[in-house]
Amino acid sequence: MNDPDPLSILAAFGAAEAPDAVPALGGMTLAVAGLILFLLLNAFFVASEFALMKVRGSQLKAGEGVPARTRRKLALARKTVKHVDLYLAACQVGITLSSLALGFLGTFFVVELTAPFLLSVGLGGSASVYGIALAVTFIFFACCQVVFGEFIPKAMAVRHPDKAALATVPLLRFFYTAFKYTGILGLTGGIARFVLKYLLGIDPRSTACTVHSTDELMYLVEESERSRELTRQEAEISRNALELNDMCVKDVMTPRSEVDVMDLTAPFEENWELARKSRHTRFPLVEGDHLDEVKGWVHVKDLLKLVGQDNPDLMSVRRELRVVPDTMPLDSLLTFFLKEHSHFALVVDEFGDSIGLVFLDDVLEQIVGDDIQDEFDQEEMREFVKTGKDTYAVNGAITLFDLADYLPEMDLDCPGVTTLGGYVISRLGYIPEEGEELAIGRYRAVVTGSDGRRITQILLTRLPEEEEE
């Protein structure tokens, strides 16, 4: 006995059922209306899905002068976005059901229209005719669904997610309620959670993620700058703020060798002269000219109150000096300064020894990107100056972090070292004299300034290709 031909079965099915399919739906007009309806529903659910995934909370905030009706829509959209997983599931169910309905109805509709014509022109038997008709149906409705049900609504929702969300959320919430109480969401969601948890080992509690990593935020800043939503300065400040946690107090502090202090054991006139000549307004108050014996700090305005007194006492105007570890991240340091209403703090190492001071300006400079200078800073050595082609004069105190901003290829890393001068000393094993040089990657570093205890200035010259280390 021969096996039945699949096309013969299809032909028999079409011959028996297809002619009565359209009349059963109420005629040609009703069939066309049904096809358009399911195509629009497919487009609606696609637009809703991408609008929910792309819209940001900041886009759904009501500004000044927004009508009350729009405010209610915004509030409803924000409420929906908070439970985005549930509504995305409703979108997926809606897309699937509308696609199936579109294909089912379209099959009988197109077959009914094309089959008589194909038979009349003599294109083979009924099996061949219905095979061709089904192929035409598949191609036609696939194109319609992809173009009008996927591409166009997706493009509109991605381009204007806030407007798309406001337009689709009310009706989407209706469909969500309908799918929920008919049990469709419960059944499909339960099966999906079972597969995710027990077969794939994935936590099914939340599949949507609106949290961005630092790298993703950096990319968003770059894209916003490229599209001119952010100015160059705004983008630079944003990038620096995102990198603030990558640096710690030790990277930006003023070392103890450069700190001006007021000594309780010295005459008041000597301390007053120091304040008068210094560019600072705040001074640590120590005993014995030793930063480890800090008693507090004084402001130059407080010293003015003591001028002219017979026996001025610095302890009478002292203030408490805050202490921070050298490993504190800069974002935590900024929070500390704001909370304590302080402009500087004493820096200590892991052994409790005082190693320098850190100022609020040091943190702000990392955010702004340029040194914050006043009229007293004009004569200070700039940390990085281009002196010629591939030649740079660099302050020995420049941090390795800042150096990498100027010269990305000089991304140096040395445990326990934060400055370029310290890096050179670490590589050589001793404090070099002026004129000594060292090859660092693609550059030759020549010591052009040294005070015998530290390197003050270095000349970097880019090496030719054959001389690179």
Residues ≥6 apart with Cβ < 8 Å to 155: none
Q: Which of 373, 428, 368 is nearest to 396 (CA)?
A: 428
pLDDT number for residue 377:
55
pLDDT number for residue 8:
46
Q: Which of 94, 111, 114, 89 is nearest to 37 (CA)?
A: 94
Say whether domain 250-368 belongs to CATH 3.10.580.10: yes
The 10s digit of each residue's pLDDT in 370-413 is: 655 655 555 455 788 888 888 999 988 888 888 888 888 887 87
Long-range contacts of 8-12 (CB under 8 A, 24+ apart): 8/127, 10/127, 10/130, 10/131, 10/134, 11/125, 11/126, 11/127, 11/129, 11/130
The 10s digit of each residue's pLDDT in 198-208 is: 788 777 665 55
**Which residues in the chain show pLDDT less than 50?**
1, 3-25, 379, 469
pLDDT number for residue 320:
92
User: In this structure, which amino acid lies at residue 425?
Assistant: I
Is 276 exposed, middle or buried, given 0-12, 13-18 or 19+ CB atoms closer than 10 A? exposed
pLDDT number for residue 401:
80
DSSP per-residue codes, 295-331: EEEEEHHHHHHHTT-SS--GGGG-BPPPEEETT-BHH
Query: How many residues can be counted in the chain?
Result: 469
> Under the phi-then-psi rule, with left for phi > 0, alpha for psi from -120 to 50, and beta for the rest, what region is 142?
alpha
Record the tokens describing residue 183, joined without a space. 């049990």
DSSP per-residue codes, 181-230: HTTHHHHHHHHHHHIIIIIS---TT--------HHHHHHHHHHHHHTTSS
pLDDT number for residue 441:
84
Residues 464 and 461: their CA atoms lie apart, in Å, by 10
pLDDT number for residue 339:
93
Residues 388 and 391: their CA atoms lie apart, in Å, by 5
Half-sphere exposure of 241 (CA within 13 A, CB side): 10
pLDDT number for residue 459:
92
Say whether domain 384-467 belongs to CATH 3.30.465.10: yes
**Radius of gyration of the chain measured on its C-alpha atoms:** 37
Residues 462 and 171: their CA atoms lie apart, in Å, by 64
DSSP per-residue codes, 341-406: T-SEEEEE-TTS-EEEEEEHHHHHHHHHSS----TTSTTSPPSEEEEETTEEEEETT-BHHHHHHH
Residues 105 and 34: their CA atoms lie apart, in Å, by 8
pLDDT number for residue 75:
82
Tell me the CA distances in angstroms from 255 to 326, 353, 454, one per residue in order. 11, 12, 11
Residues 450 and 430: their CA atoms lie apart, in Å, by 12
Say if residues 262 and 283 touch (Cβ distance below 8 Å).
yes
Record the tokens describing residue 127, joined without a space. 């099996």
pLDDT number for residue 324:
94
pLDDT number for residue 15:
44
Residues 155 and 49: their CA atoms lie apart, in Å, by 12
